[in-house]
Amino acid sequence: MNKVTLKYELDLDFILIAITSSLKDYRLCYFINKYAGLDLAKVDDHEIWLSSSEGHRYFSRYAALSEATETEYYLLANRSVEGGVLVPEMKNSDYFFLVRNFIDEEDLEALQEAVASIPEVVVASEISPQRLKSKENLIF
């Protein structure tokens, strides 16, 4: 009997900015829209399966699409209402800002500066998704 092995690679082709802030998700979304000129809006929550003992967890998610550049922007909460953490190795981060499709360095720097300039944002720093152990939780 032949044995077939399935190999797959996660599509981690996105930019990830970790945000630490005391703001509620809807307030942070409002300020990002105001400071960065985006149009983030609430979409269905991001659902992941943590473990058999913990079950499903739902994380707040906001999305925007720039039709001119086809760039997708997502704001994800790192903590669920039920008490789970989306990326356990980044427990100090409250939110993750994902940018999919092409964005040049100048636009990325401007976006990061806009988010960091929000008074209630303590830290907004780019991190590499490849270095995260639970990177599969960021795929949707």
User: In order along the chain (140 residues), what is the average pLDDT of each group of 10 residues?
Assistant: 64 81 92 90 86 78 87 90 84 90 82 90 86 78
Q: What is the pLDDT of residue 63?
A: 93
Q: Specify whether the CB–CB gap between 129 and 135 falls below 8 A.
A: yes
Q: What is the pLDDT of residue 37?
A: 87
Question: Model's pTM, two decimal places?
Answer: 0.83
Give the CA distances from residue 27 to residues 24, 31, 58, 75, in Å, rounded to whole numbers and listed in that order: 5, 6, 19, 12
Q: What is the pLDDT of residue 61?
A: 92
Phi and psi (nearest 5°) for 31? Answer: -70, -35
- Which residue has tokens 């427990």? 91
Q: Specify whether the CB–CB gap between 75 and 25 falls below 8 A.
A: yes
Q: What is the pLDDT of residue 91?
A: 87
